[in-house]
Amino acid sequence: MAAEIHSRPQSSRPVLLNKIEGHSDSVNAAVLIPKEDGVITVSEDRTIRVWLKRDSGQYWPSIYHTVSSPCSCMSYHHDSRRIFIGQDNGAVVVSVTVSPPRGLILCVCVCVCVCAAHQNRVSDLIFSLESQWVISTGHDKSISWMSTQSGSMLGRHSFGSWASCLQYDNDTQHAFVGDYSGQITLLKLEEQTCSVITTLKGHAGSVSALYWDPVQRWLFSGASDHSVIMWDIGGRQGRSLLLQGHHEKVQALWYLPLTHQLLSCSADGGITVWNMETTREEAPQWLDSDSCQKCAQPFFWNIKQMWDSKTLGLRQHHCRKCGKAICGKCSSKRSTYPIMGFEFQVRVCDDCYDTIKEEDRTPLATFHEGKHNIAHMDMDPSRGLMVTCGSDRVVKVTHTFVLVF
């Protein structure tokens, strides 16, 4: 089957290979088993399942393991066959899959240890082989890290909001934590303590997905404000790029360095592929003003100018291209402007609209439909495969349309 996938030509849309059904509740995470025709899933129905592909082409559960609480997230380390599960009750479960003899389908999942990492639902977790740590975030507004060698808790740090997602840099031991306030906190983790390096602010809604590329040192974040932001951490200039190409909450991200493409998935099933190789511009900061910066008419809170000019105040808007505060009359036009990340039409002032050429409207992203709710995504670029899952209890294995070997 893998050879068959490799020989296919690149497609303009994803090709569905398999649809896995069987869970009785939302599937919160699904990962592809590298170099094997297998998928691991965890669900709100309290089950961990390992699906192996049979000769018929269908996936069947080789492991069906039930735990004490709904499974909220997962991290899988293939070489050691360890599965790390975050649960709704705050526990982190470490399990090991025992491979079957060649030719047999069924295998065994053995629970190694259970750690009370949080006091509420575990929102995300990562296993670091280099540190031998399991790092997790939870709805108890904290990040914790434990040693997989001793099983002991090493440290904990609290935030002001629910911690929703997590990424980790193995080389520097830096953790990135997104939360429900829309902030991303960068921390340096040590054996027994941690320090806050900085806080990234840019989203207008809760941060729901993070992806860290350690080579370019780019951090990608997706949020409930339907946007994606690329933070250039390695550049150390505070540079960030706004990407707007979704109509719903962005819940999964994946960056492909070989093709310089970013995949983002949203709750409505939208899959957007961003070209990150092209030169892009930062969206401007919105300017503050008490009157329109084009026609000088007062905004409705500018009582003095309204009184002096005997006019009614106007509602304030902002041009997405120049950032100026403008009234509705001076921003009657709409346009896409992909170089700034605006793939959909946005408000621009009339002056900026006249400067946008037709070639400036050429899309720098492609849009596809996953045709189901996507809460989590995993990829195996070497085989050109992607797996998605969500609240509709369906897991889809798809031949990706972005990378062909």
Residues contacting residue 304 through CB under 8 Å, at least 6 positions apart: none
pLDDT band with cut points at 50, 70 and 90 for residue 104: very low
In contact, 213 and 193? CB cutoff 8 Å: no
Ranges 97-106, 159-168, 198-207, 282-291: which has the least confidence: 97-106
Residue 97 banded pLDDT, cuts 50, 70, 90 = low
Query: What local confidence, expressed as pLDDT, does residue 235 receive?
Result: 76
What is the mean pLDDT of the segment spanning 191-210? 95
Of 152, 149, 154, the residue nearest 173 (C-alpha): 154
Return mean pLDDT, the chain: 89
Q: Which residues contact 101 (CB under 8 A, 6 or more apart)?
A: none
Provide the pLDDT for residue 100.
Answer: 53
3-state SS record for the chain: CHHHHHCCCCCCCCEEEEEEECCCCCEEEEEECCCCCEEEEEECCCEEEEEEECCCCCEEEEEEEECCCCEEEEEEECCCCEEEEEECCCEEEEEEEECCCCCCCCCEEEEEEEEECCCCCEEEEEEECCCCEEEEEECCCEEEEEECCCCCEEEEEECCCCEEEEEEECCCCEEEEEECCCEEEEEEECCCCEEEEEEEECCCCCEEEEEEECCCCEEEEEECCCEEEEEECCCCCCCEEEEECCCCCEEEEEEECCCCEEEEEECCCEEEEEECCCCCCCCCCCCCCCECCCCCCEECCCHHHHHHHCCCCECCEECCCCCCEECCHHHCEEEEEHHHCEEEEEEECHHHHHHCCHHHHCCCEEEEECCCCCCEEEEECCCCEEEEECCCCEEEEEECCCCCC
Q: What's the residue count for the chain?
A: 405
Give dist(CA 40, CA 97) in Å, integer: 11
**Predicted pLDDT at 99:** 57
Question: So what's the pLDDT on residue 380?
Answer: 93
Cβ count within 10 A of residue 161: 15
The mean pLDDT value for 383-402 works out to 90
Q: Model confidence over 306-339: pLDDT tens digits?
A: 888 888 878 899 999 999 999 999 999 999 999 9
Specify whether the CB–CB gap between 319 and 283 falls below 8 A. no
Q: What is the pLDDT of residues 224-280, one digit of tens each?
A: 999 999 999 987 777 899 999 999 999 999 999 999 999 999 999 999 999 999 999
Using alpha carbons only, give the angle 199, 203, 208 rounded to the nearest 5 degrees.
90
Distance from the Cα of residue 121 to its chain's centroid: 19
The residues, ordered by sequence, that sit 6+ positions from 344 with a Cβ below 8 Å of its Cβ are 244, 245, 336
CA atoms of 56 and 58, how far apart (whole Å): 6
d(CA 265, CA 274): 11
Residue 185 has pLDDT above 50, yes or no: yes
pLDDT of residue 401: 61
Q: 5 pLDDT exceeds 60?
A: no
Convert the pLDDT of each residue in 61-71 to its tens digit.
Answer: 888 888 999 99
Query: b/e per residue, 386-401, with b = 16+ CB within 10 A?
Result: bbbbbebbbbbbbbbb
User: How far is Cα 250 from Cα 270, in angstroms, rounded to an integer?
Assistant: 9
Query: Which one-letter amino acid corresponds to residue 78?
Result: H
Longest Cα pair distance anywhere in the chain, in angstroms? 87
pLDDT of residue 52 exceeding 80, the answer is yes
- How large is the average pLDDT for residues 110-134? 88
Residue 192 confidence (pLDDT) above 90: no
Q: 3: pLDDT confidence band, cut at 50, 70 and 90?
A: very low
Bigger pLDDT: 55 vs 110? 55
pTM of this prediction? 0.89
| pLDDT tens digit sequence for 124-139 | 999 999 999 999 999 9
- N-to-C CA span, the chain: 14
Do residues 208 and 224 lie in contact, with contact meaning Cβ atoms separated by under 8 Å?
Answer: yes
Average pLDDT over residues 24-37: 92
Average pLDDT over residues 47-75: 90
Q: How confident is the model at residue 303 (pLDDT cuts 50, 70, 90)?
A: confident
Q: Provide the pLDDT confidence category of residue 112 given band limits of 50, 70 and 90.
A: low
Q: Between 116 and 102, where is the model more confident?
A: 116
What pLDDT, on a 0 to 100 scale, did the predictor assign at position 98? 53
